Chains A and B, each alone.
Chain A
Amino acid sequence: MAKVLMKGNEAIAEAAIKAGCKAFFGYPITPQNQIPEYMSRRMPQVDGSFIQAESEVAAINMVYGAAGAGARVMTSSSSPGISLKQEGISYIACAELPCVIVNIVRSGPGLGGILPSQGDYFQATKGGGHGDYHLIVLAPSSVQEAADLVQDGFDLADKYRMPVMVLGDGMIGQMMEPVEFKRNEPPKLPEKEWAANGWSDKSKPRSVVNSLYIEAEICSEVNRKLKEKYDEVIKNEVRVQEYMTDDADYVIAAFGTIARIAKNAANKAREQGIKVGVIRPVTLWPFPYDTFAKAAGKVKGMLDVEMNQGQMLEDVQLAVQGRVPVNFFGTQGGVIPTPAQILDEIIKMKEGK
C-alpha cells in the first residue's frame, strides 16, 4: 500500500481501526480532537461504536465495560483529561483488562496550555492512579511510529491483559507525515475466555470483572499475580532505539519527538568533531535501564533532554548509578528545544560544566 500523508491524530485513529478496534469512547480536548472526530466518522463504517461521553470519567468507565466484554477498545485524551481518567485506569489494571489509552500531551500543570509537552512522563510511567500497577507506555517519535505502536499496543494489551498507553505530544498529534499501515486487516483476535460476554449456555465458568478484594489474603494474591505479570513484561517488552552510540563520547537521552531534535543536535555536534549519540526509549515502561547502564560504561557523560522539568531524567540517573555525570536540559510550557540549544549544552558538558 502506498504511503499517505496524514495528521498524527488521524493516523492513530485509522491504525486502531485497522487493528480491529471496535469501540471508542472519549471526550473532546485539544490537541487530540482529531482522534474522536475521525472515529466518529469511521466507526459506524466498520460496524463499531463511537460514543462522545458526558465526561472523561464516563469515557474511561465505558472502556472498562467494553474491555470486560472482550472488545478491542480505545480512548484518547490530553493531559488534564487523562488525569480525570486515572481512577478508571487503576480499576482496569486491577481487573486485568486490555485497552489502549492515547495521551496527546499538552503543557501543564493545571489546564496549562494546548502546546506540546512531555510533562506527563511521571503520570504515565509511575502509576498515575492509585495502587501498585503499571501501564505499558509507548512513546512514538513520528507519525509512522505512532500508527505502528497503536497497532502493537492492542496486541500487547491482549497478550498481558493490561492497559497500554501511547504517549505522544501535541506535535505528534498535529503534524502530517507519510504513513503506511503495517496492518490493514484486523487480525484474528485471541480467544478471550475470561470476557464477561454472556452466560446463556453455561459452557464456561462464570466470568466476573472486578477490582474489589476485601480480604487481605486475596488482595495480596491479586497483587502478587500482577507483579509476576509486570516482571514478564519487563523481561520481554523493552524497546529502545540507539543512534550513533557505537563510538559516542556523549549520549543524549530523549524520547518522542524530542529525540528527533536530539538527532539533529548529534549531527551538528559531529560536524564539530564531538562524538555524540542518542538513546531513545520507545517503551517508557518498561524502561531500557540496561541500555543506559551499558552506555554509562563507555561514555564521558549524558545529557537528558525533555519538554519538562526533568522526569525521565530520574530513570536515566537510576540506570547510570552515578558512574558518569548526567546533565539536564528542559523546556516547558509548550516551548520546543532547538538543536542549537542542545548543542550548547553538549559543549558545556564537554568543558566540564
Chain B
Amino acid sequence: MMTEQIICAGFGGQGVLLAGQILAYAGLEEGKNVSWLPSYGPEMRGGTANCNVVVSDEEVASPVVVEADCAIVMNRPSMEMFEQAVKPGGLLIMNSDLIEVEPSRDDIRVLRIPANSLAEQAGSVKAANMVVLGVYNACANIVDNKTIIKCLEKLMGEKKKHLIPLNEKAIDMGSGEAKKQQS
C-alpha cells in the first residue's frame, strides 16, 4: 500500500501551489486517490505559500499533512517552517540557489537542488517548480513523468502549449539531478 504525503512550499509566485496541483492531477489520472490543500491565509501576500498533497492507493484519510514523506522547500522561510514536518527517514528537497543555510535535521534525507539555475538552463527560471517536481518524482516514483506532462498539457491549454517543451525539459533536468545525487 502506498500513501505519499507531501508539503510543497515557497514564495508566492514560485509556482509551488501549481506543482502540487499537477502532482494531484497526475495521481488522479493514474487512478489514485488524491487531495490538494492549499494555504489560503494572509501569509500568501508577499510571504510564503504552501500546499499539502496526498497521493494514495487508499481513500485519503486526512488531507492535512503533519508528518510529511517529503517536503519541497523553495526558499529559506519555507525551510524554517517545514523542515520539522518531515518524518524521520523522509525526504527534504531544498532549493539550494535560494537557501544558503543547512538543515538542522540529521535523521532525514536531504537533496540540495540548484532549482533556479537548472530552470534557467531549461529556458526560464519560472520552471524551478517543475525542476523540483522532477526531482521529487524521480525519488518517490509515484506517477509516470509522461502523466505529469499530459496533465500539464491539459492545464495549460492551447494558449500556453508552446511552454510544454520547456517544462518537460525542466522536469527531466530535475529527474537527472536527483539520480546523479542519489547514485
Does B136 have its Cβ within 8 Å of any Cβ on chain A? no
Contact with B along A263-305 (1 / 0, CB 8 A): 1100100000000000000000000000000000000000000
* Residues of chain B in range 69-86 having any CB-CB distance to chain A below 8 Å: none
Indicate if the CB atoms of A260 and B62 lie closer than 8 Å.
yes
* Complex: chain B residue closest to A258, CB-CB: B62
- B25 / chain A contacts, CB cutoff of 8 Å: 5
Q: Does A338 lie at the interface of the complex (its beta carbon under 8 Å from any beta carbon of B)?
A: yes
Knowing A176-B24, A177-B34, A178-B33, say if A261 contacts B41 (CB, 8 Å). no
Given A5-B28, A5-B36, A31-B40, decide whether A177 and B62 contact each other with a Cβ distance below 8 A: no
Of A5, A170, A176, A267, the contact of B61 (CB 8 Å cutoff):
A267
Residues from chain A with a CB closer than 8 A to the CB of B36 are: 5, 175-177
Contact A174 B41 (CB under 8 A): no
CB of A3 closer than 8 Å to a CB of B: yes
On whether the beta carbons of B37 and A175 are closer than 8 Å, the reply is yes
Cβ A338 vs Cβ B66 within 8 A: yes
Q: How far apart are the CA atoms of A30 and B41 in the complex, in Å?
A: 10
Interface bits B26-57 vs A (CB < 8 Å: 1, else 0): 00100001111110111000000000000000
Partner of A263, one of B21, B24, B61, B66: B61
Cβ-defined partner of B38 (8 Å) among A174, A264, A338, A340: A174
* Cβ contact within 8 Å between B64 and A115: no
B164 proximity list for chain A (CB < 8 A): none
Q: How far is the CA of A177 from the CA of B42 in the complex (A)?
A: 23
Expressed in whole angstroms, the Cα–Cα distance for A167 and B60 within the complex equals 21
Residue from B24, B35, B41, B61 in contact with A264 in the complex, judged by beta carbons closer than 8 Å: B61
Beyond A5-B24, A5-B28, A339-B66, whether A334 also contacts B41 by CB under 8 A is: yes
Q: Is A195 an interface residue (CB 8 A)?
A: no
Give CA–CA (A260, B42) in the complex, Å: 25
Let me know if B63 is at the binding interface, CB within 8 A. yes
A3 and B61 contact, Cβ closer than 8 Å, known pairs A114-B40, A114-B41, A178-B34: no
Q: Which of A142-181 contact B (CB under 8 A)?
A: 170-171, 174-178
Task: Name A266's closest neighbour in chain B (CB-CB).
Answer: B61
Chain B proximity of A270: nearest CB distance (Å) = 13
Give which listed residue, A5, A171, A178, A338, contacts B37 with CB less than 8 A: A171
- A residues with CB within 8 A of B: 3, 5, 30-31, 113-115, 170-171, 174-178, 257, 260-261, 263-264, 267, 334, 336, 338-340
Q: What 4 A-B pairs come out closest when comparing CB atoms?
A: A176-B36, A175-B37, A261-B62, A264-B61
